[in-house]
Structure 1
Amino acid sequence: MSRYYCGYNPPPPNFKDFLPEKYKDRLQRLPNFGQMRKSWETHKRPTLVMLHVFADDFGALEKWVELAYRLAAPEALGGKMDFYVDDMWQSYIFNEDDFSFFRDDDGYNVESLPLVYGVGAAGEVFFFGDFAGPKLPDLEGLRDFCEQVIQGNVKQATTKDPKVEVINLANWNELVYASEGDIAICFYDSRQNGSEVNESLMINLDRLGDRLKQESVRLYKMDTHGVSVPKKFNVESTPAFFVLRETQKHTPVRCKYELGTWTMLRFVAENSSEELNYYNRRGHLRLHANLLTHMRDFFDLSQNKRGFLM
């Protein structure tokens, strides 16, 4: 079995006949990139896209396809929105130039839940689940989700402020020891402000804050100029980046990588108390978040003139 969901590796053996004929009067498979774009720009209809990591064994997936088929009936929602079901291999249409989905990143198997996304008439993309992953679909819940997509009133979890918070010795105990959840903290020396080191560091911290906005990890920065850093951190030089796990706040773990955005993200992902919502332990985007990103790029009508890829 291919390591990759899509790209230049062979598709699943049943790729061409994934969807049985009995479902084709209501359900569609994902067309190629150009056809999907033309169809979407022409009709701008609310859309449900249901994907599964494995279609190799359709029998295990039929219960999910059956849900979509029932909702797509003309007397149900078929007259108001389009319904697509497919294997993950076909989802490359959302990102033709970057084949980056891995089959083994999240421990998916045939029994895993499908990844369901709704697209509103204006191109907004919504995930049937939360930050941590997909919800278990049932007829009533999926119907409610579809109707909210049609009406444009889907309520989804909001992210926290991505701004990197400032911490100092005056608020240290309150922010570190009296708070719940993991903490990531970067020590820097303001005497290096204006230097390439600090300018690059602050840019990377801001980017890291944006990457972690749906996570429970709190991100702080602390100026070490004129203060004594708590001894347990053993900061011999700056900048220095640490993770404090929720139940081990007195045992900070120092980052062993150079302090770039991705390397700090990887370090947080490796050392967080629990696996992050959007990233696996290697710092790679988990599949449901990866697809959400690509689908938003693909369908967002405001991006039509600049392209759809990240």
Structure 2
Amino acid sequence: MSRYYCGYNPAPPNFTTFFPEKYKDRLQRLPNFGKLRQTWEIHKRPTLVMLHVFADDFGALEKYVEMVYQLAAPQVLSAEMDFYVDDMWQSYIFNEEDFSFFRDDDGFSVDSFPLIYAIGSTGEVFFFGDFAGPKLPNLESLRDFCEEVIGGNVKEPTTKESKVEEISLDSWNELLYASDEDIAICFYNSLQDGTEVNKRLMINLDRLGDRLKQESVRLYKMDIHEVSVPKKFNVESSPAFFVLQGTQRHNPLRCKYELGIWTMLRFVAENSTEELNYYNRRGHLRLHANLLTHMRDYFDLSHNQSGCFL
């Protein structure tokens, strides 16, 4: 059984046979590389895509396939929506640049919920779940989701504002102890403003704020020029980046990496009280978020028309 979801690795053993004939009158498997978007563009029909991590154990998937099969009945939703069901290995068609899906990320097992996405008539991609991952479908909730997509009124979870808040000693206690959320804070010296170090740091902090906008982590920065930093931080030089866990405010953890966007993100992911919604402990995008990102790129008309993928 291959660890990777990738066109360059062996497919699951029953990849060509797992999809039973009895479902083929209503459900489709994903087409070959790059064909799904071309098919979608012709008709602009809302589309449901259900993928399972272990379709090579079809018993784990069949109850969900049966559910989608009922929704795809002519008298239910097939007149308004197309339905695809496949093994995760085939998902590489959504990722034309980087074949990097892992079968063993996030503790997936044969009992994991399927990953369900829908594409609206305008190319918007929606996930059946929330920031933390997929939710358990039933016939009623999945039908509601499909009808919302068809009607163009899907209610997605909202993210917080993407920003890095400036903090000072005057507001220190008020902000740091206002809640029990995890905190990431970067100490910098304004004497270095205009230098490459600070320019790069501020750009990376803004990017980090964007990547944490669906997470319960607050991001701050503080100018330490002519300021005495609380001793527990032991700031010997700047910049310095710390994580304070929600219930461990007295024990700040200093980033051991050279400060860059991915190293700071990894450090937050490694040390957050609870595992982040979109990133595993290594700072890698979790499977449901990774696939959502690539599907949105895949169906984004402006990206595809310009030949540009994020």
Deviation at 1:308, TM superposition (A): 5.8
SS at match of 1:238: coil
SS at match of 2:92: helix
Deviation at 1:5, TM superposition (A): 1.9
Deviation at 1:209, TM superposition (A): 0.5
Q: Partner residue of 1:213?
A: 213
Q: Partner residue of 2:84?
A: 84
Deviation at 1:239, TM superposition (A): 0.1
Q: Partner residue of 2:22?
A: 22
Deviation at 1:134, TM superposition (A): 0.5
Q: Partners in 1 of 2:122 and 2:308 — Cα distance? A: 15
Question: Structure 1 residue 240 and structure 2 residue 240: aligned?
Answer: yes
Amino acid at match of 1:221: K
Q: Partners in 1 of 2:216 and 2:292 — Cα distance? A: 20
Backbone CA RMSD of aligned residues:
0.9
Q: Partner residue of 1:293?
A: 293
Q: Partners in 1 of 2:309 and 2:51 — Cα distance? A: 20
Normalising to structure 2: TM-score of the pair? Answer: 0.98
Amino acid at match of 1:8: Y
Deviation at 1:250, TM superposition (A): 1.0
Q: Which runs of 5+ in 2 are unaligned?
A: none
Q: Partner residue of 2:251?
A: 251
> Does structure 2 retain, via aligned residues, the 8 Å contact 1:95–1:309?
no
Q: Which runs of 5+ in 1 are unaligned?
A: none
Q: Partners in 2 of 1:95 and 1:240 — Cα distance? A: 36
Amino acid at match of 1:89: W
Q: Partners in 1 of 2:91 and 2:107 — Cα distance? A: 19
Deviation at 1:132, TM superposition (A): 0.2
SS at match of 1:36: helix
Amino acid at match of 1:73: A
- Percent identity, aligned pairs only? 79
Q: Partners in 2 of 1:161 and 1:218 — Cα distance? A: 11
> Does structure 2 retain, via aligned residues, the 8 Å contact 1:298–1:308?
no
Q: Partner residue of 1:67?
A: 67
Paired residues in the alignment total: 310
Deviations 1:26-45 (A, max 9, x none): 00000023321220111110
> Does structure 1 retain, via aligned residues, the 8 Å contact 2:34–2:94?
no
Alignment of 1:247-286 (within 5 A): 247-286=247-286
SS at match of 1:106: helix
Q: Partners in 2 of 1:61 and 1:305 — Cα distance? A: 35
Deviations 1:240-266 (A, max 9, x none): 000000000111000000000000000
Amino acid at match of 1:61: L
Q: Partner residue of 2:95?
A: 95
Q: Partners in 1 of 2:86 and 2:291 — Cα distance? A: 14
Normalising to structure 1: TM-score of the pair? Answer: 0.98
